[in-house]
Amino acid sequence: MYQYDVIDRELVNARTAEFREQVSARLSGALSEDEFKPLRLMNGVYLQLHAYMLRVAIPYGVLSSNQLRMLAQVAREYDKGYGHFTTRQNIQYNWPALVDIPAILDALASVEMHAIQTSGNTIRNTTTDPFAGAAADEIADPRPWCELIRQWSTQHPEFTWLPRKFKIAVTGSPADRAAIGVHDIGLKLVPGDKGIMGFEVHVGGGQGRTPRIAAKIRDYLPARELLAYLTAILRVYNLAGRRDNLYKARIKILVEDMGPEAFAAAVEETYEAIRGRDLAVPAEEIERVASFFTPPAPGRALENAPTDPAFARWRRVNVKPHKVPGRAVVVIALKAYGQAPGDASAAQMDLIADLAERYGEAEIRVTKEQNLVLPHMDEAALPALFEALKEAGLATANAGRASDIVACPGLDYCNLANARSIPIAQQISMGLEAAGLDEAAGEVTVKISGCINACGHHHVAEIGLLGVDKKGEEVYQLTLGGVADGEAAIGKILGPGLSADDAVRAVIACVRVFADHGANEERFSQTLARIGTDPFKEAVYGA
């Protein structure tokens, strides 16, 4: 993975020193809260219901064992012994004190980590395929480009005060495990003719209040022109994005208002005016960054696999094929039945760091499904890995299954929430376990958001729940048919809102309908298209 050079280190150190000074200025009153708030957001510091929340960047979801150990250390020393992995491949701590955050940032900087631009009206963490560099269906590894975008977007002097937050996702595979269809900018690596790698560019996707699928504005952009083109898109948005209404300020609204053709034309005009040698990525730099992302050496094949049915099941569900012989991709689902989705204790983080180091090239990934991945596992070590994970409650064989629920922090933590999501997820997962539905239904995505901001990505879930406030009561809307990866689609509301208990029952019932009616190999959307919503309505609302 990428290693900082002296310039990267100096920039992060300068930033932590700057924030230390800004915290002092707030504590002394030299900065008002109104002035301090955007500055602290730019350093990932939110104020939540109970406490500050610190969102640490995990650039494009890639972590080393040493970095994961530091995240565990921060959880132990400055928080309540756990962290939460997020739907944008970052990690959140729910209980840091503001006065401790400069020290936390110093500790993170010592392992080449930071919390820069994980919040605020800035360009956020660029996300990608958690199987990047390992998946056989990849056209090219997206991670070097993610690193180049990270550098270009860090403290960009022109784009630090955008109308609203800005999210970029990159996929190197046509399968698109990065959900580029619902990002402000979605980039797909495509081979050009003459074999010159390039990008297909999509703009204006997003979830939240007004979910939209992105429009494709360019079939092919030579890869070295990426930063110039991104600059053009951001400049058009910075100048023309709405600033009068918080809920109309994302680029998706601008693209819709202008129309994709007019928007694309504005971008092309700006791009032609600014492109040049200072923005083109030099070939030597592409080469240098790419050199940090090489495939692992072949591993050792697993001979004489244990006959233990639990191991077999875990291997079938959580282990994915790797393009290098003797290697495997292992999903560590942070979704034990009844646990808060995406949370890991400091001890669990340390264990995973050790296991990655021992068996998996010391590399870990974070997924937007709030799970962790060991991308380069040595196949022969799978049984040993399974045993170690099992002891720590990390071997739940439900990756991609109904109980692999994505849930935002919700009203248990978040200032913006209308309803709780984590306890709902906990109840659903225990109900699914009791009914054996994970096995019966196969792969299905369930996601829960506690408010219209949709941080739980419920819009793109096959079965989604949206928490709303109805006269002080927590009420849930059930949606069906969303798709995140590949051909993105927004889910549709099934019927009237449900109480918390009814919502739990409803989700389990919908999973059961899918288990009963889904044909072999059919994805949920295909089943839904085939049988229609009536069987689901009946299961949820009765005849």
Closest CB to other proteins among residues 185, 483: 185
The tokens of 258 are what? 């202008």
- HEC assignment per residue over 311-345: HHHHHHHHEEECCCCCEEEEEECCCCCCCCCCEEE
Could you say which of 256, 285, 439, 522 contacts other proteins (CB under 8 A)? 285
Residues in contact with other proteins, counted by CB under 8 A, come to a total of 102
Q: Which helix (H) or strand (E) holds 383?
A: helix 382-391
Residue span 25-54 as binding mask against other proteins, x where in contact by CB under 8 A, dash where not? xxxxxxxxx-x--xx-------xxxxxx--
Q: Which amino acid, residue 303?
A: E
CB atoms within 10 A of CB 107: 17
Output the smallest distance, CB 279 to other proteins, in A: 6
Closest CB to other proteins among residues 179, 364: 364
Q: Determine the interface stretch with other proteins among 145-153, 205-213, 319-327, 398-406 (rule: CB under 8 A).
A: 145-153
Closest CB to other proteins among residues 354, 522: 354
Q: Determine the interface stretch with other proteins among 14-22, 103-111, 256-264, 513-521 (rule: CB under 8 A).
A: 14-22
Tell which positions 324-363 bind other proteins, by CB under 8 A: 336, 338-340, 343-345, 347-348, 350-351, 354-355, 358
CA distance linking residue 188 with residue 203, whole number of Å: 12
Output the smallest distance, CB 126 to other proteins, in A: 14
CA distance linking residue 190 with residue 176, whole number of Å: 12
Q: Which amino acid, residue 308?
A: D
Could you say which of 109, 182, 281, 539 contacts other proteins (CB under 8 A)? 281
Phi, psi (5° rounding) for residue 136? -75, -20
Output the smallest distance, CB 153 to other proteins, in A: 8
CA distance linking residue 332 with residue 311, whole number of Å: 14
Binding of other proteins at residue 280 (CB under 8 A)?
Answer: yes
Closest CB to other proteins among residues 21, 538: 21
Binding of other proteins at residue 458 (CB under 8 A)?
Answer: no
Output the smallest distance, CB 335 to other proteins, in A: 12
Output the smallest distance, CB 445 to other proteins, in A: 21
Tell which positions 407-426 bind other proteins, by CB under 8 A: 411-413, 417, 420, 422-423, 426
Tell which positions 210-229 bind other proteins, by CB under 8 A: 227
Output the smallest distance, CB 231 to other proteins, in A: 8
CB atoms within 10 A of CB 523: 16
Binding of other proteins at residue 80 (CB under 8 A)?
Answer: yes
Cα distances from 238 to residues 166, 213, 319, 349, in angstroms, run 11, 21, 43, 39
Output the smallest distance, CB 402 to other proteins, in A: 20
DSSP state of 209: T
Binding of other proteins at residue 487 (CB under 8 A)?
Answer: no
Describe the chain by its helix, strand, coil percentages, rounded to 5. Answer: 40, 20, 40
Residue span 231-250 as binding mask against other proteins, x where in contact by CB under 8 A, dash where not? x---x--xx---x-------
Q: Determine the interface stretch with other proteins among 85-93, 389-397, 440-448, 534-542 (rule: CB under 8 A).
A: 389-397
Q: Determine the interface stretch with other proteins among 106-114, 160-168, 397-405, 529-537 (rule: CB under 8 A).
A: 160-168
Output the smallest distance, CB 440 to other proteins, in A: 26
Could you say which of 196, 262, 297, 493 contacts other proteins (CB under 8 A)? 196
Binding of other proteins at residue 152 (CB under 8 A)?
Answer: yes
The tokens of 294 are what? 């090489």
> Are the C-beta atoms of residues 218 and 201 closer than 8 Å to each other?
yes
CA distance linking residue 120 with residue 165, whole number of Å: 6
- The order of strands in the sheet holding 363-366 is 62-64, 363-366, 372-378, 327-332, 319-321
Tell which positions 504-543 bind other proteins, by CB under 8 A: none
CA distance linking residue 470 with residue 457, whole number of Å: 21
Three-state DSSP class for residue 388:
helix
Rounded (10°) angle between helices 33-41 and 6-28: 160
Binding of other proteins at residue 158 (CB under 8 A)?
Answer: yes
Q: Which residues have C-beta within 8 Å of that of residue 80, sequence separation ≥ 6? A: 94, 95
Could you say which of 106, 391, 516, 538 contacts other proteins (CB under 8 A)? 391
